[in-house]
Structures are given as C-alpha cells and as structure tokens.
Amino acid sequence: MEKFTTLRAVAAPLPMVNIDTDKIIPKQFLKTIARTGLAKGLFYELRFDEDGKPKDGFVLDQPAYRQAQILIAGENFGCGSSREHAPWALLDAGIRCIVASSFADIFHNNCFKNGILPIVLPQEQVDMLMDDAQRGANSIVTVDLEKQEITGPDGGTIHFEVDAFRKHCLMNGLDDIGLTLEKADKIDAYESRQRENQF
C-alpha cells in the first residue's frame, strides 16, 4: 500500500449527501477482484446516461478537476453495501483523501485499509472547504497527516482527528498483510517451535 504522509492536490467539490457505494461503483463493475481499471465505473450513473454517453457537468470530468486527489463530500458518504470496490475505484481514479461530516462505518474502515484517508470534520468546516474547492484548478489543498492539518488555498488551517493506529498504518503504507509481515520473525519462530514439538 502506498504511504500517505502529505498530499498537496486539487480538491473537487461533491456536495451531495448519502452517496452510497452503488453510486460510487455500480454493481455491473463488481465482476473483478482486480483493484485496477475500476475508475471507468466510478460515479458511473452521475457521469453517463442510459446509453453510456457522457453527461455534461460532472465535477471529476471537468478539466479543472480531472487530476483531483481530494474529494470534499456531503454527509453519510459511502453508505449502502460494504463493497470494497468503492474505495478501489476511488483510488484507481487518483482520490487519496475524502473530507465529509460523516461516513458509513464499513466504507470508512475500507478506506484506511486501502490507502485512502477519510477525514471527518464538523459541517461548517466541510462547508468552508467546499467553498475552497469551487475554485477549480486553484482549489489546491494540502493534507498533512503527521500534523493532522488541512491547509486551504488561502493558507487557513483546519485540525482534524485520526485514530493513532490508523495514522501509523497510512504513514507507513501498512495494510493488513503489511502489518502481518512486520511480525514475520515472530511468526517464523513460532512455526519453527511448532515443527520441533510435533516431531
């Protein structure tokens, strides 16, 4: 998993509440267990009509936001089913951080496990960042995980809370497998003792 330390990137505004995981990545794109190639299905119903033709105006398809890596979203982001394809699709599209006033629990957990930082802030602070994100290509926001600070385009700073263990995992690029491999020497020693005791 890629480390997350400091991210300076364009922030895109998505001021919709209750964006569920089916809206993030519809069911027809769940036929793969590969974590790549899912960006084409990201927010599919918001981006394309029934015939698969692009709709006008979706924020991530606008030239100013095509390289966005930060999403400023409405409350209850990631509700619905627990599909892990949702953070996979966001990550495949380059999104590394999502800011909202609330997230669905399972989606929130899946973000951390896949290298995305979900930040929960009071609604008034989300609204401030949403205003900043309306600036198009000038909506450059910096997220410093070590300091737990978000700096807006005008230099204003917002502090955010994050669980210490999850912060450690993100900053060191540790998913569940990486965490296990950190204890490889102890696992090897245990297996060696088990083999000796069996014979």
Domain boundaries, the chain: 6-198
Structure tokens that stand for 94 in this block: 């380059």
What is the average pLDDT across 136-159?
Answer: 96
Model confidence over 22-72: pLDDT tens digits? 999 999 999 888 888 999 999 999 999 989 899 988 999 999 999 999 999
Both tokens assigned to 142: 């910096």
Alpha helix segments (H runs only) across 21-152: 21-24, 44-47, 85-92, 105-113, 123-133
Q: Are 197 and 30 in contact (CB under 8 A)?
A: no
Q: If you average pLDDT over residues 139-168, what whole number do you get? A: 97
Closest listed residue to residue 140, CA positions, set 70, 41, 87: 70
Are 13 and 59 a contacting pair, CB within 8 Å?
A: yes
- Give the sheet arrangement for strand 6-14, strand by strand: 117-120, 97-100, 70-73, 6-14, 140-144, 149-151, 157-159
Of 3.10.180.10, 3.30.465.10, 3.20.19.10, 3.40.50.1970, the CATH number of 6-198 is: 3.20.19.10
Residue 188, both tokens: 């090897």
Would you call 157 helix, strand, or coil by DSSP?
Answer: strand
Task: Please state whether the predicted TM-score (pTM) of the whole model is above 0.85.
Answer: yes
Task: Report, as an integer, the average pLDDT of 180-185.
Answer: 66
166-169: Cβ within 8 A, 24+ apart: 166/112, 169/112
Q: What are the tens digits of pLDDT across the range 67-94?
A: 999 999 999 999 998 899 999 999 999 9
Residues 148-167 have a mean pLDDT of 97
